[in-house]
Structure 1
Amino acid sequence: MTEQLLLQQIQEIQPLDQESMNQASAHLDQLTKPQGSLGKLESLAIQLAGITGTQAPLLERRSVIVMAADHGIASEGVSAYPAEVTPQMLLNMLHGGAAVNVLARQASAHVVCVDIGVNADIEHPRLHSRSIRKGTANMAEGPAMSRDEAVRAIRTGMEIAADEVRRGTSLFVTGELGIGNTTASAALISALTGLPPARVVGRGTGLDDAGVHRKTEAIRRSLERNRCDATDPVGVLAAVGGLEIGGLAGVILGAALHQCPVMLDGFISAAAALLAVRLAPACAAYMIASHQSDEKGHAAVLEQLGLQPMLQLDMRLGEGTGGVLALHLVDAANRIMREMATFASAGVAGASGEVPQ
């Protein structure tokens, strides 16, 4: 698929079903509670109805798509961990030992691991091997990848989403793995929004103050070297992004094309979401912000996306962990819609003092 065909396809994303949203809102107002008293759970229920066209969708198969890739910028000392951790953690995840595996089991979610650019040869029966290149180049010295590779990353994410829909997935969670990816995310966000690097750079894997300064300078040099055009999202991804960021943007776009909700995890997922929205603004309606992470720039990106986080737990692990935790809120919203009594069915007087017939 050429870049032009990809851009044409994602323009086919449909708006939410307003009639289903109206019906869900009316039903919520009939339940035995003050109107709006369940706050974000009610907003979530209405959004899910609009996405799926169903008042209380079951969303039984939930897939956490973990895109894994390495980053050439890691050679600039922007992480507290060496690049070798990426393939090691990917194997740990494939064996079920990572935090996202534990939380996904609790939430009855399925973890899908995708090698889209890890700088190692990994074989495992459950690994989706879709490597585009063995990690990006050092963006402080030139473009992270070619434009064709950037398009392929987005397309790969869309293909993974389509494959999972064929397997019965009805809800997606974004996850990622890759040493150096908060640096690439911050650079991409800065390039797309004009926010200064210092505004969006955080401690990532646990950098000290000197490490944060080094990371900020690496991003500043990358932006200066590559001269990104904010009106060209694919070009920005190629210049200062990451393969897993492009892949996750593709997952988001693919989920929206198939009218599936997509639960965003943290900072890297938000960078991918921003890229997706710049490519196809209609996909924003399909996004749910699971939490606001402890990473410095996450709140700023959520503001750019117009999203309110469901949770705030001071997390900064990534992997999709925050997104999986928020699946329990999806279940709660849907159970409220399906199981809670109305004023009429319970024989309870409403705000007017009368029992509805």
Structure 2
Amino acid sequence: MSSLNLDDFSDLIERPDGGVRRDAEERRQRLSVPPGALGRLDELGEWLAAAQSSVPVKPIRHPRVVLFAGDHGVAGAGVSARPAGSAHTLVRAVLAGESPVSVLARGSDVPVRVVDVALDCDPDELPDDVVRHRVRRGSGRIDIEDALGAEEAERAFRAGMAVADEEADAGTDLVVLGDLSVGGTTAAATLIAALCGTDASVVTGRGGRPIDDLAWMRKCAAVRDALRRARPVLGDQLQLLQTVGGADLAAITGFLLQSAVRRTPVILDGVVSAACALVAQRVAFRAPDWWLAGQRSGEPAQAKALDRLAVDPLLDQGVTAGEGTGAMLALPLVRAAASLAAELPVAVAESVPDDPEGAAPDEE
């Protein structure tokens, strides 16, 4: 029997400090720049102050990109533009500094961490620090079989928790979260459709590398069949991840929940992280208060999930690259909000001299 009790997260996760947020709002009213002039940056600064329990807010000094990697067996059904089992090529591009998120992170001096949870390749092909949390090689084909065994699902979930603890202990003050997967958007669409009670066609998008109409129809069919398998286990979130998720999605869910326990803010990327956030919300309803959505990816399932989470994306640039790229694009905006809230001076009230006592009005 599993020793992992997800109900514990509801007790462990608290919202960012509401009293501190009110103090931040009051301080904002006294800054030299008029209230409202900075738009949503004001809201971001106040959110960060509450997350940090600090007024004024502290600058973001130690952000980190964390990417969970895995292959999905459902990619073998022809639902992806990439070959099944090829997510390791995405990982190698990141490690070589040749992917969009690597370029952006390098320009902002932000370290990138890749966590292999279920890549379908020999672990000896990748660095030890990448593969040390691996649970299994690939995941099951969710339209006809479970993605994971029960013990594998728990191991993956705990791996995500362990990574969250490692980042918090290392002093990471903001996580840019993403995934490196092939077939992951199909699993994510299934989770979102199951948790939102919608049909496959409503949530099925075309992925980061757009698929043609025939592949989209195959993807819809895979989501439809996986949904039939998901509905009977909706009441158990770990079993749901075991049935139609995958090791990387289970790990991301564990990471999100443990990051909220450790009071580490997270910027979500695309549909995969949104799906995991939706699962995590079902586990602990206060957890979404610790997350931001980096950008609108255009995937219909992501829009559905973010609407259910009541999280409004920071950017809408039409970026579909995935792999943490959209979340990374939002990081400068969050950093700017922190810097403005921390460094803008408090306005000095203008003094109006009183009339001298007994002074008579000037005579004409």
Residue of structure 2 in register with 1:14 after alignment: 14
Partner of 2:292: 288
Match of 1:240 in 2: 244
When residues 231 and 337 of structure 1 are mapped into structure 2, their CA distance, relative to the original with a 3 A threshold, is same
- Is 1:139 equivalent to 2:142 in the alignment? yes
Pick aligned residue for 2:161 from 158, 162, 166: 158
Report if aligned partners of 1:143, 1:226 keep a CA contact under 8 Å in 2. no
Does 1:306 pair with 2:306?
no
| SS of structure 1 residue aligned to 2:267 | strand
User: Does the CA-based 8 Å contact 2:24-2:46 persist in structure 1?
Assistant: yes
Aligned to 2:196: 193
Report what 2:258 is aligned to.
254
Which residue of the partner structure matches residue 106 of structure 2?
105
CA deviation after TM superposition for structure 1 residue 14, in Å: 1.6
Q: What is the total number of aligned residue pairs between the two structures?
A: 348
Aligned to 2:362: none
Give secondary structure in 2 for the equivalent of 1:297. helix
Aligned-partner Cα distance in 2 for 1:102–1:62? 15
3-state SS, counterpart of residue 321 of structure 2:
coil
Identity value in percent: 34
TM-score, normalising length: structure 1 = 0.92
Q: Distance in 2 between matches of 1:6 and 1:297?
A: 25
Contact 1:191 1:236 in 2 (8 A): no
Query: How much has 1:99 moved relative to structure 2?
Result: 1.1
Compute the displacement of 1:105 (Å).
1.6
Assess if the C-alpha contact under 8 Å between 1:188 and 1:271 holds in 2.
yes
Q: What is residue 83 of structure 1 aligned with on the other side?
A: 84
**Cα drift, residue 123 of structure 1:** 2.4
Q: Aligned partners of 1:130, 1:303: CA distance in 2, in Å?
A: 32
CA distance in 1, matches of 2:79, 2:146: 17
Q: CA deviation at 1:6?
A: 4.8
Q: Distance in 2 between matches of 1:233 and 1:42?
A: 35
The Cα shift of 1:92 comes to 1.7
State the Cα deviation string for residues 68-98 of structure 1 (Å, max 9, x = none). Answer: 0010101100001102431112112122221
Partner of 2:301: 297
Whole-angstrom distance in 2 between the partners of 1:80 and 1:3: 39
Q: CA RMSD in A?
A: 1.9
Considering only CA atoms, is the larger Rg found in Structure 1 or Structure 2? 2
Show the counterpart of 2:282. Answer: 278
Q: Which of 225, 236, 239 is matched with 1:221 structurally?
A: 225
Give the TM-score, by structure 2 length: 0.91
Secondary structure of residue in 2 paired with 1:109: coil
340 and 227 in structure 1: CA distance in 2 versus 1, 3 angstrom threshold = closer
Correspondence 1:332 to 2:333: no
Structure 2 CA distance for partners of 1:248 and 1:54, relative to 1, 3 Å: same
Aligned twin of 1:35: 35
Query: Could you tell me how far 1:60 is from its partner in structure 2?
Result: 1.2
Amino acid at match of 1:79: S
For structure 1, list consecutive stretches of 5 or more residues without a partner in the other structure. Answer: 350-357
Give the Cα–Cα distance (whole angstroms) in 2 for the partners of residues 238 and 282 of structure 1. Answer: 23
Query: Letter of the aligned partner of 2:241 in structure 1?
Result: L
Matched, 1:211 2:224: no
Structure 2 residue 347 is matched with structure 1 residue 343: yes
* Local SS of the residue matching 1:228: helix
Structure 1 distance, partners of 2:320, 2:83, is 18
Distance 1:348 1:32, change over 3 A: farther
Offset of residue 247 of structure 1: 1.2
Paired with 1:226 and 1:5, the residues of 2 have a C-alpha distance of 20
Query: 1:161 offset after TM fit, Å?
Result: 1.0
Distance 1:341 1:230 in 2: 51
> Which residue identity is paired with 1:234?
L
Do the aligned partners of residues 268 and 329 (structure 1) sit closer, same or farther apart at CA in structure 2, a change above 3 Å counting?
same
Unaligned stretches of 5+ residues in structure 2 = 353-364
- Quote the residue 1:354 is aligned against: none
Q: 1:251 to 1:2 in 2, by over 3 A?
A: same
Question: Per-residue displacement from partner, 1:40-77 (whole Å, max 9, x unpaired)?
Answer: 21111111111110121223111111000010101100
- Contact 2:85/2:119, CA 8 A, preserved across alignment: no
1:58-77 paired onto structure 2 within 5 Å: 58-77=59-78
Aligned counterparts of 1:226 and 1:112: Cα–Cα separation in 2: 31
Matched residue, 1:265 = 269
